[in-house]
Amino acid sequence: MIPSSSPSDPTESHLREEATSSEVLVDGNFLKARRDTVRLPDGGTSTREYVIHPGAVVVVPLLDDGRVVLERQYRYPVGRVMTEFPAGKLDAGEDPFVCGRRELLEETGYSGREWAYAGLMHLAVAYSTEIIHVYFARGLSLGERQLDVGEFVDVFTATPEELIGWCRDGTVTDAKTLTCTLWLQNVLSGAWTLDWQALGTGDAVG
């Protein structure tokens, strides 16, 4: 039985908010944010301030020996070197799949022969528009990585068991990487299946 408030209920107007006006809150070099005035479900008004994000991609790269490719990168807002799956923001108008192949190559040097789209996550629903698309890659071959100027990233590999242990013991705390690990664990157990696609010859990254 599906309760009336379950995800499949199409009539949720008692929860929805409608914009009545919108203004730029900040237009930084990196950070863009807006402040909207909204009409609440009960007719009241409130304001919503949120970051405008172009969207991003994260890749779970599976090596032939069963290990996964991970990165260590200093994340200034949290003041820590974080363990993460390779990820990056979409360039303006960029297709997420193109972005995933580009970011994997640029940051790690790996190219994948087969790719699968797993799904998407909304990263910070209270204050950001950010959507992250999750891809898996396999049939990996190592070339030269091409880090952007001012980008400092260490690449290493681990077994899925090591990664899952790090999620449990607090070594891995990045939400997108934890979410990818939910996917990885269920794909490896066979509970969740992926629709793998071999790259055609026209799919090479620039």
Residues 108-137 touching a copy of itself, rule: CB under 8 A, are: 119-132
179-198 residues in contact with a copy of itself (CB under 8 A) are 179, 181-182, 185-186, 192
Q: Which two structure tokens, joined as six digits, stand for 72? A: 């260590």
Site string for a copy of itself, 1-30 (x = CB under 8 A): --xxxxxxx--x-xxxx-------xx-xxx
- 51 in contact with a copy of itself (CB under 8 A): yes
Q: For residues 65-84, which are near a copy of itself according to CB under 8 A? A: 72-78, 80-84
CB of 201 to a copy of itself, least distance (A): 31
State the nearest-atom distance from the C-beta of 10 to a copy of itself, in Å: 10
Q: How many angstroms from the chain centroid is the CA of residue 153?
A: 17
Residue among 47, 45, 44 at smallest CA distance from 25: 47
Pair 136, 118: CB distance under 8 Å: yes
Find the part of the chain contacting a copy of itself (CB under 8 A) among 94-102, 137-145, 174-182, 196-204: 174-182
Q: Which listed residue (33, 98, 188, 205) binds a copy of itself by CB under 8 A? A: 33
Structure tokens at 198: 């071999």
Q: Which tokens belong to 114?
A: 């087969």
- Going by the DSSP 8-state scheme, the letter that residue 29 receives in this structure is S
Starting from the edge strand earliest in sequence, which strands make up the sheet with 80-84, in order? Answer: 80-84, 68-75, 153-158
Q: Give the single-character DSSP code of 128.
A: B
